[in-house]
Chains A and B, each alone.
Chain A
Amino acid sequence: MNQHLYEALKQVQGFIYPNEIEVHWGILVVLYPYLTGLVAGAFILASLVKVFNVREVYSVYRLSLLTALAFLLVAPLPLLLHLGHPERSFEIFLTPNLTSAMAMFGFVYAWYLMVVLLLEVWFTYRRDLIVWARDKTSPLRWVHRALALFSDDISPEALSFDQKAVKAITIIGVPSAFLLHGYVGFIFGSIKANPWWSSVLIPIVFLFSAMVSGIALVLLLYMVIMPRKGQKIEMACLDKIASYLFYAVIIDFSLECLDFIHRLYESEESIKILSELVMNKLFISLGVMQILLGMLVPLAIMVSIKLFRFEEELRRLLYFLSALLIQLGIFATRWNVVVGGQMFSKSFRGLTVYKMELTGLEGLLMTLALLILPFIVLAVLIRLLPPWDKVAPEAIAD
């Protein structure tokens, strides 16, 4: 059972505290901030429409909401699978320790799911749900009736309330989205025992990389789903999403540069072992995947798109490529934070290894399954709540 630990022991460089040989937060804990980051990012993109009235991206508004919902529903799974006693997880609701950032999880998640995301989806779709439910030929009409909470009122007063509600919820939703992902950053940032994590910047970096990954995800989904539905991709919308992606990447990159420069400049005691960590253990995942492929290449692509006028087809290809690289880069970012922080000893005298299993609850196969699952949920949601159904023309944003 502990065979992988005996293997890991042989590969320790230097000295680690004996209890540190077991890497406690593995691929599942890498996956959780990645998923909630996508939720937060997709929601922020949606909020651009309702709060900041960016009309060009209106056509992805509902898709963003459904994406956020699909990923939010799957997000607790990696956590539950990782716990030693998932059957006791309800204790977080009953006896939360108020000094623990992790105790916030239950409440923040419940708040975001119930009060923000589900409500916003409901108010957005309520009118269409009623219209679809009234269609006697629709196979899903009972589902739509139930989803509409058996409401049948599409009077102007009710519709205007819907719109006001959506706007209000989005306004609450933006800081809620920040909280949903920011508290994860705080979980790491508040650990004074670990100098790789302990930083004021980590919650902010998490947030902006979340926005980058979420916006990039919606961009990818938009480009993949539209042709499958036989619809044309609106270039104005795509260009606008890519613009916001560009701004978000610039901010994210600046923050990460700031963190890097700050660490090197202050050169605290941990700098030696952390430099060894980056050069030995994280060279590929940080240097190549996070920075080069995940940030510099997409940045270069987007800068050149801004500078030179490429034609549509080339732009689409480059956007797709950038967004894909960005997903890889942000996943690598999460890996570098979570796993990277456990690859060096708190004695500052050694480095260890993380041996990810293939099978098992914390294995690679489970991770892949958890990565695919949200897309399956999204497919179901799109079936139930089609984002671009031409039958019911959507109300224009306020």
Chain B
Amino acid sequence: MQRRLFVRRLLSVMAISFGSLAVKLRAAAERAGIAEKRFGMGIQVDKCIGCGRCVEACKEENAVPLDPFYFRTWVERYIIRADGEVAVTNIDERITAARDAALEREVMRSFFVPKLCNQCDHPPCVQVCPVGATFSTPEGVVLVDDQRCIGCRYCIQACPYGARYLHPVKKTADKCTFCYHRTSKGMLPACVEVCPTQARIFGDLATTASPLTRFRRMNKLSVLKPHLNTEPKVLYSNLDGEVR
């Protein structure tokens, strides 16, 4: 009699604890399902026509100084010749040194590659900031607190992609923010907005139905400088091996 009572009590305690555990697990799963967004960008190299609308739109949207020394995003042109020589230029007219001087020699491949801050998941810039002025938001966007930045330029040295510059007026580090002031409200970054060929795709890496998810499904993807293990969130399709 005592034993039966004991077993009954034990079973009910177990039921209650498992029950509450199940509820907790379900809640956690739901939370994971509606987890924070992770912003990412896809770039279809084969669609870029090098028109430079994105560079202009970015400077307009984010009040980036117009001199050719400060770019939150830029486009590189690659010309690969039959003998293997690779010539790279920036499409900004003021920067391009030799304007395709020897076009007569046979060109094997030529294409444009848009570049911007890769919003790394393992960002070396955040690692080295001495005062913690640069950080990652929950969406994975790396921002700079320009009230705290002391302008030591360590983050600029640490970025392997040349994405950062020192703002000449604010004297703090500056870089692409995935247009956080737009994307945090459901809009697209300015560069994605104006791209005429949809070479740039923006979205939430965690969502199931979006142009970015299709991009990730249908293309073989690569990132810049994978050996540095920065885990970039800018994904390139059809990226030529010569691109650094």
Q: Residues of A at under 8 Å CB distance from B? A: 1-2, 5, 9, 12, 14-22, 24-25, 82-86, 88-89, 91-92, 95-97, 99-103, 105, 187, 190-194, 342, 345-349
Contact = CB atoms under 8 A, between A and B. Distances in A.
Nearest to A1: B168
Interface in B114-143: 115, 124, 126-133
Contacts of B166: 22, 24, 84
Nearest to B127: A99
Contacts of B74: 17-18
Contacts of A349: 86, 88, 244
B152 A102 contact: yes
22 contacts: A2-B69, A2-B168, A9-B95, A19-B71, A19-B156, A19-B163, A25-B153, A84-B149, A84-B151, A97-B129, A97-B130, A99-B127, A99-B128, A101-B128, A103-B130, A191-B124, A193-B157, A193-B158, A193-B228, A345-B162, A347-B162, A349-B86
Interface string B144-173: 000011111110111111111110101110
Given A2-B67, A101-B128, 16 more contacts: A2-B168, A9-B68, A15-B76, A18-B92, A19-B70, A19-B165, A22-B69, A24-B157, A84-B149, A84-B170, A88-B150, A89-B150, A96-B132, A99-B128, A102-B128, A193-B158
B21 to A, nearest CB: 36
A85 B171 contact: yes
Contact of B131 (A15, A21, A96): A96
Given A2-B67, A97-B132, A192 B228 contact: yes
A100 B154 contact: yes
Contacts of A5: 67, 69
Contact of A19 (B124, B128, B162, B244): B162
B149 to A, nearest CB: 7
A22 B131 contact: no
A91 B150 contact: yes
B237 interface: no
Contact of B150 (A18, A22, A83, A187): A83
Given A91-B131, A97-B132, A347-B162, A85 B154 contact: no
Contact of A15 (B90, B156, B164): B90
Contacts of B159: 193
Contact of A92 (B94, B130, B160): B130
A86 B164 CA distance: 20
**Which 5 residue pairs of A and B lie closest in terms of their CB atoms, listed nearest first?**
A84-B151, A17-B162, A84-B171, A193-B160, A15-B88
B1 interface: no
Contacts of B172: 84-85
Given A2-B67, A347-B244, A17 B168 contact: no
Contact of B130 (A82, A85, A102): A102
B63 interface: no
B238 to A, nearest CB: 19
B103 interface: no
A61 B59 CA distance: 59
B86 A96 contact: no
B183 interface: no
A102 to B, nearest CB: 4
B16 interface: no
A282 B163 CA distance: 26
B89 interface: yes
Given A92-B130, A95-B131, A193-B124, A18 B148 contact: no
Contacts of A342: 157
B97 interface: yes
A61 B166 CA distance: 44
A12 B90 CA distance: 12
Nearest to B175: A19
A17 B166 CA distance: 14
Contacts of A89: 150
A349 B80 CA distance: 13
Given A101-B128, A191-B157, A348 B149 contact: no
Interface in B187-239: 228
B18 to A, nearest CB: 41
Contacts of A21: 68-69
B130 A25 contact: no
Contacts of B151: 83-85
Nearest to A349: B88
B168 A100 contact: no
Contacts of B148: 88, 91, 95
Contacts of A1: 168
Contacts of A103: 130-131
Contacts of B87: 15
A187 B154 contact: yes
Nearest to B96: A15
Contacts of A100: 127-130, 154
A375 to B, nearest CB: 27
A99 B155 CA distance: 12
